[in-house]
Chain A
Amino acid sequence: MSEEHAHIVSYKTFLIIWVALLILTGITIAVAQYNLGALNIWVALGIATLKAGLVVAVFMHMQYENRLFKLSLLSALTILAIFIGFTFFDVLYR
Protein backbone atom coordinates (compact mmCIF):
# COMPACT_ATOMS: atom_id res chain seq x y z
CA MET A 1 0.00 0.00 0.00
CA SER A 2 1.71 3.13 -1.21
CA GLU A 3 -0.35 5.27 1.14
CA GLU A 4 1.51 3.90 4.12
CA HIS A 5 4.51 5.75 2.78
CA ALA A 6 2.56 9.01 2.54
CA HIS A 7 4.80 11.94 3.29
CA ILE A 8 5.40 12.79 6.94
CA VAL A 9 6.08 16.51 7.24
CA SER A 10 8.78 17.41 9.77
CA TYR A 11 8.17 19.53 12.87
CA LYS A 12 10.75 21.98 11.57
CA THR A 13 8.88 22.62 8.32
CA PHE A 14 5.69 23.39 10.23
CA LEU A 15 7.51 25.73 12.60
CA ILE A 16 9.08 27.65 9.70
CA ILE A 17 5.65 28.07 8.08
CA TRP A 18 4.16 29.24 11.38
CA VAL A 19 6.90 31.88 11.78
CA ALA A 20 6.33 32.99 8.17
CA LEU A 21 2.58 33.33 8.85
CA LEU A 22 3.26 35.47 11.94
CA ILE A 23 5.68 37.71 10.02
CA LEU A 24 3.13 38.16 7.21
CA THR A 25 0.46 39.03 9.80
CA GLY A 26 2.81 41.67 11.25
CA ILE A 27 3.45 43.10 7.78
CA THR A 28 -0.25 43.32 6.93
CA ILE A 29 -0.98 45.13 10.23
CA ALA A 30 1.94 47.53 9.66
CA VAL A 31 0.97 48.33 6.06
CA ALA A 32 -2.64 49.01 7.10
CA GLN A 33 -1.44 51.95 9.25
CA TYR A 34 -0.38 53.87 6.12
CA ASN A 35 -2.77 55.45 3.67
CA LEU A 36 -1.96 53.97 0.25
CA GLY A 37 -5.38 54.67 -1.24
CA ALA A 38 -6.88 51.79 -3.20
CA LEU A 39 -3.59 49.92 -2.85
CA ASN A 40 -4.35 49.15 0.83
CA ILE A 41 -7.05 46.60 0.03
CA TRP A 42 -4.94 44.93 -2.69
CA VAL A 43 -1.92 44.61 -0.41
CA ALA A 44 -4.17 43.17 2.34
CA LEU A 45 -5.71 40.67 -0.09
CA GLY A 46 -2.32 39.78 -1.58
CA ILE A 47 -0.80 39.01 1.82
CA ALA A 48 -3.92 37.09 2.90
CA THR A 49 -3.72 35.00 -0.29
CA LEU A 50 -0.05 34.29 0.35
CA LYS A 51 -0.84 33.20 3.93
CA ALA A 52 -3.72 31.05 2.70
CA GLY A 53 -1.39 29.47 0.14
CA LEU A 54 1.10 28.50 2.86
CA VAL A 55 -1.65 26.98 5.03
CA VAL A 56 -3.13 24.99 2.12
CA ALA A 57 0.22 23.82 0.72
CA VAL A 58 1.94 22.79 3.94
CA PHE A 59 -0.47 22.61 6.91
CA MET A 60 -3.14 20.96 4.74
CA HIS A 61 -0.52 18.85 2.87
CA MET A 62 -1.76 19.93 -0.56
CA GLN A 63 1.77 20.02 -1.99
CA TYR A 64 2.16 16.31 -1.18
CA GLU A 65 -1.21 15.27 -2.66
CA ASN A 66 -1.69 13.85 -6.14
CA ARG A 67 -2.88 15.73 -9.19
CA LEU A 68 -6.56 14.95 -8.61
CA PHE A 69 -6.51 17.04 -5.40
CA LYS A 70 -4.64 19.92 -6.98
CA LEU A 71 -6.88 20.07 -10.05
CA SER A 72 -10.05 19.94 -7.99
CA LEU A 73 -8.81 22.75 -5.74
CA LEU A 74 -8.00 24.74 -8.86
CA SER A 75 -11.51 24.18 -10.24
CA ALA A 76 -13.14 25.20 -6.95
CA LEU A 77 -11.09 28.41 -6.93
CA THR A 78 -11.90 29.01 -10.61
CA ILE A 79 -15.61 28.71 -9.84
CA LEU A 80 -15.17 31.19 -6.99
CA ALA A 81 -13.31 33.57 -9.31
CA ILE A 82 -16.11 33.32 -11.91
CA PHE A 83 -18.63 33.94 -9.13
CA ILE A 84 -16.74 37.08 -8.05
CA GLY A 85 -15.93 38.24 -11.58
CA PHE A 86 -19.48 37.98 -12.94
CA THR A 87 -20.90 39.68 -9.86
CA PHE A 88 -18.62 42.64 -10.49
CA PHE A 89 -19.39 42.77 -14.22
CA ASP A 90 -22.95 43.34 -13.09
CA VAL A 91 -22.35 45.61 -10.09
CA LEU A 92 -19.71 47.91 -11.58
CA TYR A 93 -21.47 48.61 -14.88
CA ARG A 94 -25.03 49.09 -13.74
Chain B
Amino acid sequence: MSGHVHKDYTGAKFGMWLFLFTEILLFGGLFILYSVYLARYPQEFISAGKELNVWFGGGNTLVLLTSSLFVAVSITALRRGSKRLCLGLLGGTIVCAVIFMVNKYFEWSAKIDHGIYPGSAHLKEMLPGEMVFFNIYYLTTGLHGIHVVIGALILAWTMVLIINDKVNANDWVILENAGLYWHLVDLIWIFIFPLYYLILH
Protein backbone atom coordinates (compact mmCIF):
# COMPACT_ATOMS: atom_id res chain seq x y z
CA MET B 1 0.00 0.00 0.00
CA SER B 2 2.89 2.38 -0.60
CA GLY B 3 1.80 5.81 -1.67
CA HIS B 4 -1.46 5.52 0.16
CA VAL B 5 -1.72 8.21 2.82
CA HIS B 6 -3.94 7.09 5.63
CA LYS B 7 -6.32 9.77 6.85
CA ASP B 8 -8.25 9.33 10.04
CA TYR B 9 -10.69 12.22 10.21
CA THR B 10 -12.56 10.98 13.23
CA GLY B 11 -9.31 10.43 15.12
CA ALA B 12 -7.98 13.87 14.17
CA LYS B 13 -11.15 15.64 15.22
CA PHE B 14 -11.48 13.60 18.40
CA GLY B 15 -7.92 14.48 19.37
CA MET B 16 -8.76 18.14 18.92
CA TRP B 17 -11.87 17.81 21.07
CA LEU B 18 -9.84 16.11 23.84
CA PHE B 19 -7.51 19.09 23.79
CA LEU B 20 -10.48 21.46 23.92
CA PHE B 21 -11.80 19.64 27.01
CA THR B 22 -8.55 20.47 28.81
CA GLU B 23 -9.03 24.10 27.76
CA ILE B 24 -12.59 24.06 29.10
CA LEU B 25 -11.30 22.76 32.44
CA LEU B 26 -8.52 25.37 32.46
CA PHE B 27 -10.95 28.24 32.02
CA GLY B 28 -13.44 26.38 34.22
CA GLY B 29 -10.95 26.76 37.07
CA LEU B 30 -10.88 30.53 36.53
CA PHE B 31 -14.69 30.66 36.45
CA ILE B 32 -14.79 28.74 39.75
CA LEU B 33 -12.42 31.31 41.21
CA TYR B 34 -14.81 33.99 39.99
CA SER B 35 -17.93 32.34 41.39
CA VAL B 36 -16.41 31.60 44.80
CA TYR B 37 -15.36 35.23 45.23
CA LEU B 38 -18.68 36.46 43.82
CA ALA B 39 -20.42 34.47 46.56
CA ARG B 40 -18.08 35.99 49.15
CA TYR B 41 -18.08 39.63 47.95
CA PRO B 42 -21.32 40.19 45.97
CA GLN B 43 -21.51 43.98 46.57
CA GLU B 44 -17.85 44.60 45.81
CA PHE B 45 -18.05 42.62 42.57
CA ILE B 46 -20.94 44.84 41.50
CA SER B 47 -19.12 48.08 42.31
CA ALA B 48 -15.98 46.83 40.52
CA GLY B 49 -17.97 45.41 37.59
CA LYS B 50 -19.50 48.84 36.96
CA GLU B 51 -15.98 50.13 36.19
CA LEU B 52 -15.86 47.94 33.09
CA ASN B 53 -17.21 49.46 29.90
CA VAL B 54 -20.10 47.45 28.48
CA TRP B 55 -19.41 48.95 25.01
CA PHE B 56 -15.92 47.43 24.87
CA GLY B 57 -17.26 44.09 26.09
CA GLY B 58 -20.35 44.17 23.88
CA GLY B 59 -18.37 45.33 20.83
CA ASN B 60 -15.89 42.52 21.29
CA THR B 61 -18.76 40.04 21.69
CA LEU B 62 -20.10 41.18 18.31
CA VAL B 63 -16.64 40.86 16.75
CA LEU B 64 -16.05 37.33 18.09
CA LEU B 65 -19.52 36.01 17.23
CA THR B 66 -19.10 37.32 13.68
CA SER B 67 -15.60 35.84 13.39
CA SER B 68 -17.01 32.48 14.48
CA LEU B 69 -19.61 32.74 11.72
CA PHE B 70 -16.82 33.45 9.19
CA VAL B 71 -14.84 30.38 10.25
CA ALA B 72 -17.90 28.13 10.20
CA VAL B 73 -18.90 29.33 6.72
CA SER B 74 -15.30 29.05 5.46
CA ILE B 75 -15.39 25.27 5.99
CA THR B 76 -18.60 24.93 3.97
CA ALA B 77 -17.09 27.20 1.28
CA LEU B 78 -13.92 25.11 1.01
CA ARG B 79 -15.85 21.85 0.80
CA ARG B 80 -18.07 23.28 -1.93
CA GLY B 81 -14.94 24.24 -3.85
CA SER B 82 -15.05 28.02 -3.29
CA LYS B 83 -11.40 28.42 -2.31
CA ARG B 84 -11.39 32.19 -2.79
CA LEU B 85 -14.47 32.71 -0.58
CA CYS B 86 -12.92 30.45 2.05
CA LEU B 87 -9.68 32.46 2.09
CA GLY B 88 -11.62 35.74 2.21
CA LEU B 89 -13.61 34.56 5.23
CA LEU B 90 -10.47 33.37 7.04
CA GLY B 91 -8.83 36.73 6.28
CA GLY B 92 -11.96 38.38 7.73
CA THR B 93 -11.61 36.26 10.86
CA ILE B 94 -8.01 37.39 11.35
CA VAL B 95 -9.15 41.02 10.88
CA CYS B 96 -11.74 40.36 13.62
CA ALA B 97 -8.99 38.99 15.87
CA VAL B 98 -6.95 42.16 15.30
CA ILE B 99 -9.99 44.39 16.03
CA PHE B 100 -10.59 42.39 19.21
CA MET B 101 -7.01 42.88 20.40
CA VAL B 102 -6.99 46.61 19.51
CA ASN B 103 -10.20 47.01 21.56
CA LYS B 104 -8.58 45.10 24.39
CA TYR B 105 -5.51 47.34 24.17
CA PHE B 106 -7.61 50.49 24.55
CA GLU B 107 -9.69 48.94 27.30
CA TRP B 108 -6.69 47.80 29.34
CA SER B 109 -4.85 51.10 28.69
CA ALA B 110 -7.78 53.08 30.10
CA LYS B 111 -7.83 50.85 33.20
CA ILE B 112 -4.07 51.06 33.66
CA ASP B 113 -4.20 54.88 33.26
CA HIS B 114 -6.67 54.92 36.14
CA GLY B 115 -4.16 52.95 38.19
CA ILE B 116 -6.13 49.72 38.03
CA TYR B 117 -3.76 46.85 37.33
CA PRO B 118 -2.47 43.91 39.41
CA GLY B 119 -0.18 45.10 42.18
CA SER B 120 -0.90 48.82 41.70
CA ALA B 121 -1.01 51.17 44.70
CA HIS B 122 -4.57 52.21 43.79
CA LEU B 123 -5.72 48.58 43.71
CA LYS B 124 -4.30 47.97 47.19
CA GLU B 125 -6.44 50.82 48.54
CA MET B 126 -9.60 49.23 47.15
CA LEU B 127 -11.89 46.90 49.07
CA PRO B 128 -10.64 43.29 49.09
CA GLY B 129 -13.49 42.08 46.85
CA GLU B 130 -12.78 44.77 44.25
CA MET B 131 -9.10 43.90 44.27
CA VAL B 132 -9.92 40.23 43.68
CA PHE B 133 -12.35 41.14 40.89
CA PHE B 134 -9.75 43.12 38.96
CA ASN B 135 -7.01 40.53 39.52
CA ILE B 136 -9.09 37.69 38.10
CA TYR B 137 -10.40 40.01 35.38
CA TYR B 138 -6.83 40.58 34.17
CA LEU B 139 -5.93 36.92 34.57
CA THR B 140 -8.98 35.60 32.70
CA THR B 141 -9.16 38.17 29.90
CA GLY B 142 -5.35 38.04 29.56
CA LEU B 143 -5.34 34.26 29.13
CA HIS B 144 -8.26 34.59 26.73
CA GLY B 145 -6.39 37.28 24.78
CA ILE B 146 -3.41 34.93 24.39
CA HIS B 147 -5.83 32.37 22.95
CA VAL B 148 -7.13 34.96 20.45
CA VAL B 149 -3.57 35.64 19.24
CA ILE B 150 -2.73 31.91 18.98
CA GLY B 151 -6.03 31.24 17.19
CA ALA B 152 -5.32 33.98 14.64
CA LEU B 153 -1.81 32.56 14.01
CA ILE B 154 -3.23 29.04 13.52
CA LEU B 155 -5.81 30.40 11.06
CA ALA B 156 -3.08 32.31 9.17
CA TRP B 157 -1.04 29.10 8.91
CA THR B 158 -4.15 27.25 7.69
CA MET B 159 -4.64 29.94 5.02
CA VAL B 160 -1.12 29.26 3.73
CA LEU B 161 -1.93 25.53 3.53
CA ILE B 162 -5.13 26.31 1.62
CA ILE B 163 -3.31 28.61 -0.81
CA ASN B 164 -0.84 25.76 -1.49
CA ASP B 165 -3.73 23.27 -1.86
CA LYS B 166 -2.39 21.21 1.04
CA VAL B 167 -5.79 21.73 2.61
CA ASN B 168 -8.57 21.40 0.03
CA ALA B 169 -12.13 20.27 -0.64
CA ASN B 170 -11.13 16.61 -0.16
CA ASP B 171 -8.79 17.08 2.79
CA TRP B 172 -10.02 19.78 5.12
CA VAL B 173 -9.54 18.40 8.64
CA ILE B 174 -6.81 20.93 9.51
CA LEU B 175 -9.22 23.76 8.74
CA GLU B 176 -11.90 21.96 10.74
CA ASN B 177 -9.63 21.66 13.78
CA ALA B 178 -8.31 25.22 13.48
CA GLY B 179 -11.97 26.29 13.35
CA LEU B 180 -12.78 24.27 16.48
CA TYR B 181 -10.00 26.10 18.32
CA TRP B 182 -11.37 29.45 17.16
CA HIS B 183 -14.92 28.58 18.25
CA LEU B 184 -13.55 27.68 21.69
CA VAL B 185 -12.12 31.21 21.96
CA ASP B 186 -15.62 32.51 21.15
CA LEU B 187 -17.19 30.08 23.63
CA ILE B 188 -15.03 31.30 26.53
CA TRP B 189 -15.86 34.92 25.71
CA ILE B 190 -19.59 34.10 25.74
CA PHE B 191 -19.16 33.45 29.48
CA ILE B 192 -16.61 36.17 30.24
CA PHE B 193 -18.83 38.92 28.81
CA PRO B 194 -21.90 38.58 31.09
CA LEU B 195 -19.88 37.64 34.18
CA TYR B 196 -17.48 40.58 34.06
CA TYR B 197 -19.23 43.29 32.04
CA LEU B 198 -22.89 42.82 32.89
CA ILE B 199 -22.67 42.50 36.65
CA LEU B 200 -24.49 45.76 37.39
CA HIS B 201 -26.99 44.91 40.16
Within 82-139 of B, Cβ neighbours of A (below 8 Å) are at: none
Instruction: Give the CA-CA distance A41 to B66 in the complex, in Å.
Output: 25
Interface size class of B (residues with CB under 8 A): 35 or more
B17 touches A69 (CB 8 A): yes
Q: Is B58 among interface residues, defined by CB-CB distance under 8 A?
A: yes
Interface of B is mostly: helix
Chain B residues lying within 8 Å of A73, measured Cβ to Cβ, are 17, 21
Instruction: Give the CA-CA distance A6 to B54 in the complex, in Å.
Output: 40
> Do A18 and B9 form a contact, CB below 8 Å, given A8-B76, A47-B194, A76-B25?
no
Nearest-neighbour CB distance to chain B for A21, whole angstroms, equals 5
> Do A60 and B194 form a contact, CB below 8 Å, given A80-B28, A83-B32?
no
Residue of B10, B29, B194 near A32 (CB, 8 A) is: B194
Chain B residues lying within 8 Å of A84, measured Cβ to Cβ, are 28, 31-32, 35
Residue of B35, B180, B198 near A60 (CB, 8 A) is: B180
Instruction: Give the CA-CA distance A4 to B31 in the complex, in Å.
Output: 39
Chain A residues lying within 8 Å of B31, measured Cβ to Cβ, are 84
Chain B residues lying within 8 Å of A32, measured Cβ to Cβ, are 194, 198-201
Number of interface residues of A (CB under 8 A): 52
Q: Is B62 among interface residues, defined by CB-CB distance under 8 A?
A: yes
A48 touches B191 (CB 8 A): yes
Instruction: Give the CA-CA distance A2 to B168 in the complex, in Å.
Output: 18
- In this complex, what residue of A is CB-closest to B80? A8
For the complex of A and B, list the 8 residue pairs with the smallest distance between their C-beta atoms, beginning with the closest.
Answer: A44-B194, A32-B198, A35-B201, A76-B21, A18-B69, A59-B72, A3-B9, A80-B28
